[in-house]
């Protein structure tokens, strides 16, 4: 086995072995934009939650290795019950998904039986199974607009995305009280100082950010939408208010632009925002998962079937 040139970097053999295992097992790797650059480089497809769900749905591979977090791999399994779906680290969760435990969510929707239940894809399969329709940050406005105007709506679990959709659509939404621990860590005070230092910069923000951040933003959208905006907008400098992993693809797509991660509250960590769950995946864990066919996503079939109905309603809207 060839040795590593720099400590911490995967060896060439490991990368070659992953490609070999992919061929042998007829596997594909799907990766979210928040994954580390080495994992993004290994992936057959990199995208936002909606594009990844669509890629999983199109896939004919026997094995889907999902380099993302648990709810994303579960989504791939909901759409592909016959295929093996692997997640390199089963502990890679999501604070939003965790904010809506199924029993509490059931009590909430039971208390509002006249409401249509719209759930953000960042939730468990059990919560999806209790929902009428799923949305992502790409299509949340479209999904809410698709619901007849006379129907009341529950929106869960992200209250900030929900409040944003409420502002854009003018619909009143009953919001579940969940947040993304990464996006609420972005500091509005530090951000204002940074905007003062870069008066020509455009602020782009993910809708999981709190309203005071979104109020300052020139563009609000999903990770894919933020990436597209950086490519097409004539500005030279962008302050990016979302998880810092997206900066890798942005730098590849727009190498001549200056990209500054929005600052986080914490002073002792890195200046940007990183999702600790997304960062649990490593190239070594990708290799091990492909080699052993584990950890695998396993779902109760009754839950999966009901979750698929809500998910397919969203997929039909695009
Ligand atoms: P996107 O669907 O915009 O990629 O968002 C996923 C996510 O988890 C944001 O925190
Ligand atoms: Fe969940 Fe936030 Fe991490 Fe996205 S960034 S996976 S919403 S904890």
Q: Kindly indicate the confidence band of residue 9, based on its pLDDT and cuts at 50, 70 and 90.
A: low
**Which whole number is the average pLDDT over 31-49?**
97
Residue 253 predicted with pLDDT over 80: yes
Task: Report the residue count for the chain.
Answer: 318
CB atoms within 10 A of CB 102: 15
If phi > 0 it is left, if psi is from -120 to 50 it is alpha, else beta; for residue 8 that is left
CA 233 to centroid of ligand 1, rounded, Å: 21
If phi > 0 it is left, if psi is from -120 to 50 it is alpha, else beta; for residue 243 that is beta
Please identify, by atom number, the ligand 1 atom nearest to the C-alpha of residue 226: 3
Distance (Å, rounded) from C-alpha 248 to C-alpha 268? 23
| pLDDT tens, residue by residue, 100-150 | 999 999 999 999 999 999 999 999 999 999 999 999 999 999 999 999 999
Can you list the domains of the chain with their CATH numbers? 12-91+278-298 (3.40.50.10800), 96-179+303-317 (3.40.50.10800), 186-261 (3.40.50.10800)
Q: Which two structure tokens, joined as six digits, stand for 246?
A: 């997206």
Worst-scoring range by mean pLDDT, 5-9, 61-65, 258-262? 5-9
| Residue in 33, 156, 182 to alter for ligand 2 test, most ligand atoms within 8 A of Cβ | 182
Q: Quick one: what percent of the chain has pLDDT higher than 90?
A: 93
What's the mean per-residue pLDDT of the chain? 95
Across the beta sheet with 84-86, what order do the strands follow?
Answer: 45-47, 27-32, 63-67, 84-86
Nearest CA to ligand 2 atom 2: 180
DSSP summary character for residue 3: P
CA 11 to centroid of ligand 1, rounded, Å: 30
CA trace torsion 251, 183, 36, 62 (10° rounding): -110
The predicted pLDDT at position 266 comes to 73
Only one residue has tokens 């799907």, namely 30
| Residue in 243, 247, 273, 281 to alter for ligand 2 test, most ligand atoms within 8 A of Cβ | 243
Residue 1 predicted with pLDDT over 70: no
Find out whether the peptide bond into 256 is cis, omega within 30 degrees of 0. no
Residue 285 predicted with pLDDT over 90: yes
């Amino acid at each position: 086995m060839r040795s590593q040139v720099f400590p911490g970097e995967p060896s060439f053999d490991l990368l070659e072995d992953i490609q070999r295992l992919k061929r042998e097992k007829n596997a594909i790797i799907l990766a979210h934009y928040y994954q580390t650059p080495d994992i993004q480089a290994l992936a057959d497809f990199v995208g936002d939650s909606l594009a990844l769900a669509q890629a999983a749905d199109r896939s004919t591979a026997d094995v889907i290795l999902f380099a993302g977090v648990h709810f994303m791999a579960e989504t791939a399994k909901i759409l592909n019950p016959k295929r093996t779906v692997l997640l390199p680290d089963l502990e890679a969760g999501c604070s939003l998904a965790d904010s809506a435990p199924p029993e509490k969510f059931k009590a909430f929707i039971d208390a509002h039986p006249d409401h249509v239940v719209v759930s953000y894809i960042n939730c468990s399969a059990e919560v999806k199974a209790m929902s009428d329709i799923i949305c992502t940050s790409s299509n949340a406005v479209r999904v809410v607009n698709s619901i007849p105007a006379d129907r009341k709506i529950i929106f869960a679990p992200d209250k900030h995305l929900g409040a944003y959709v409420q502002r854009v659509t003018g619909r009143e939404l009953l919001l579940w009280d969940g947040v993304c621990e990464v996006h609420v860590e972005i500091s509005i005070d530090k951000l204002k100082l940074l905007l003062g230092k870069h008066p020509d910069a455009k602020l782009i923000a993910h809708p999981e950010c709190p309203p005071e951040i979104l109020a300052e933003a020139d563009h609000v959208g999903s990770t894919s939408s933020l990436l597209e905006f950086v490519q097409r907008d004539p500005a030279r400098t962008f302050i990016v208010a979302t998880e810092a992993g997206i900066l890798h693809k942005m730098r590849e797509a727009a190498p001549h632009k200056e990209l500054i991660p929005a600052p986080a509250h914490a002073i002792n960590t890195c200046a940007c925002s990183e999702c600790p769950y997304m960062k649990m995946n490593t190239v070594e864990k990708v290799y091990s998962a492909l080699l052993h066919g584990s950890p695998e996503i396993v779902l109760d079939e009754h839950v999966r079937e009901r979750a698929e109905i809500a998910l397919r309603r969203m997929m039909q809207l695009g």
